[in-house]
């Protein structure tokens, strides 16, 4: 006699299904591409700040020379290109490089933290320059915004009340005559030097330079550029504060 309460025969137990490991999709922008973009844009910025520093040193030649240099930048390649055409082209290129540099830096930082996990070691990089790249980069970005509002657009209260459009020498001296601006300028140049020195050395590796002598030579060039930018640009606020530039 069959027990009506007995469960029906279900057959042999079904083996558990093997769990499939999640398929990792390839990133939209490979890491090597992001590093290469950062390297190229970083070298563009390094070349720009060196040339910009050389131009800034003309302030020691007097107001006429410095104002003439500023006017020459606005009229460069006229009448082949419109007035300020070269200057605006340079600004567009630098703006695009800045966006690409920032976007790739954020992307690489997020990937680095994700791969390291929650138990990553803090300050594991081998040098102060490597550990401080994110901090110095943020400060430099803030300085760029401040510098544009101060020297280019003359936007108050960032720019001094004495700002006069087109008077490059007077605006530079008037801005750096404020002690807090001179101090901010000097500290930023120090951080910029650190950023350049480490950035040029890192860019060499990211762009495929593998030779020991080649990388050492590039590191020396980056160090020279960093020191030159620091001493050249920092000399201007010091001279203004000491009364040598008026």
Count Cβ atoms below 10 Å from residue 229 Cβ, excluding itself: 22
Which tens digit of pLDDT belongs to each residue from 57-100? 999 999 999 999 999 999 999 989 999 999 999 999 999 999 99
In this predicted structure, what is the pLDDT of residue 26?
55
pTM over 0.85: no
CA dist., res. 38 & res. 127, Å (int): 19
Taking only the tens place, the pLDDT of each residue in 178-209 is 999 999 999 999 999 999 999 999 999 999 98
Map out the domains of the chain as residue ranges.
Answer: 32-111+127-241
Position 126 scores a pLDDT of 47
Selected from 1.20.1300.10, 1.10.260.30, 2.60.40.420, 3.40.1160.10, the CATH number assigned to the domain covering 32-111+127-241 reads: 1.20.1300.10
pLDDT bin (cut points 50, 70, 90) of residue 20 is low
Where would I find the H helices in the chain? 31-56, 63-74, 85-116, 128-131, 133-147, 168-176, 179-206, 212-241
What is the structure's pLDDT at 87?
Answer: 93
Q: How many other β-carbons are positioned within 10 Å of the β-carbon of residue 203? A: 21
pLDDT in tens, 115-173: 765 545 554 444 566 677 888 899 999 999 999 999 999 999 999 999 999 899 999 99
> Scanning the structure block, which residue is given the tokens 């954020």?
106
* pLDDT over 90 (residue 4): no
Q: What is the pLDDT of residue 132?
A: 79
3-state secondary structure of 14: coil
Query: In the numeric block, which tokens belong to residue 218?
Result: 């590039």
200 close to 222: Cβ distance less than 8 angstroms: yes
Most confident of 9-13, 48-52, 102-106: 48-52
């Amino acid at each position: 006699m069959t027990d009506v309460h007995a469960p029906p025969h279900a057959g042999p137990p079904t083996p558990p299904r093997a769990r499939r490991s999640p398929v990792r999709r390839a990133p939209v922008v490979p890491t090597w591409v992001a590093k290469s973009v950062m390297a190229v844009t970083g070298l563009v910025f390094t070349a720009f700040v060196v040339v910009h520093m050389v131009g800034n040193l003309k302030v020691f030649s007097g107001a006429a020379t410095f104002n003439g240099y500023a006017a020459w930048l606005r009229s460069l390649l006229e009448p082949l290109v419109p007035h300020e055409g070269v200057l605006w082209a340079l600004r567009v290129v630098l703006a695009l490089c800045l966006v690409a540099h920032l976007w790739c830096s954020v992307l690489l930082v997020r990937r680095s933290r994700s791969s390291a996990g929650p138990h990553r070691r803090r300050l594991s990089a081998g040098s102060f320059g490597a550990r401080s790249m994110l901090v110095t980069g943020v400060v430099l970005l803030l300085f760029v915004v401040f510098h544009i509002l101060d020297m280019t657009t003359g936007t108050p209260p960032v720019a001094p009340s004495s700002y006069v459009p087109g008077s490059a020498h007077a605006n530079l001296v008037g801005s750096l005559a404020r002690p807090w601006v001179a101090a901010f300028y000097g500290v930023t140049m120090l951080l910029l030097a650190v950023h350049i020195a480490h950035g040029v050395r890192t860019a060499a590796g990211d762009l495929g330079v593998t030779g020991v002598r080649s990388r050492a030579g590039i590191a020396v060039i980056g160090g020279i550029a960093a020191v030159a930018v620091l001493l050249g640009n920092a000399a201007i606020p010091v001279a203004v504060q000491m009364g040598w530039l008026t």
